[in-house]
Amino acid sequence: MQRPSLSHALQQVAHAYRSHMVQTIRDADLPLPGTHVRALKAVCYMEGCTAQRIAQRMRRDKAQITRVLNDLLEAGLINKASNPADKRSQLLHPTPAGEAMMQRIQQLEEQTLGRMTRDLTQQEVEHFIRIAWHMTQNLEGDLPPDS
């Protein structure tokens, strides 16, 4: 059998992780689609979080992110506050319910990651993380591709 290409391997691991997380979240009866989970994560972890910054980070249209954020607002998971640095935007913060939801999502992610890495050593996991980070920086970092 021929070994899979790097491209195929990356697509497979990303797809398997996303699919398993979607199913795990569904099985846990959490009422959030994937995009909402990613947006809530951004609100919880991004310093000075705004809709524009989330749209850039997620590489999505700002209008789409605004709709997702409005859903999170309606669900009572986030709130908005005036941005003292830019009156045209608002800073986003998790509510206590949003923080509790994020803790539950983190537990589910840990379960998925535990299953995903169950036959790997800690050294293998750390090596994978370093390689994945390096590849990401090669594509997204400030360095030109040939440096």
CATH 1.10.10.10 fits 16-105, yes or no: yes
CB 43 within 8 A of CB 98: yes
Task: Give residue 1's pLDDT band: very low, low, confident or very high (50, 70, 90).
Answer: low
**Span 108-134, average pLDDT:** 95
Task: Give residue 145's pLDDT band: very low, low, confident or very high (50, 70, 90).
Answer: very low
Task: Give residue 147's pLDDT band: very low, low, confident or very high (50, 70, 90).
Answer: very low
Residue 123 or residue 142, greater confidence: 123
Task: Give residue 146's pLDDT band: very low, low, confident or very high (50, 70, 90).
Answer: very low
pLDDT at residue 144 greater than cutoff 50: no
Average pLDDT, the chain: 90
Instruction: Return the closest-CA partner of residue 70 out of 38, 42, 103, 39.
Output: 39
pLDDT at residue 29 greater than cutoff 70: yes
Cα 124 from Cα 129, distance rounded (Å): 9
**Span 46-64, average pLDDT:** 92
Verdict on whether the full-model pTM lies above 0.95: no
3 state DSSP class of 7: helix
pLDDT at residue 63 greater than cutoff 90: yes
CB 51 within 8 A of CB 60: no
Compute the residue count for the chain: 147
The neighbouring-strand residues paired with 93 are: 79
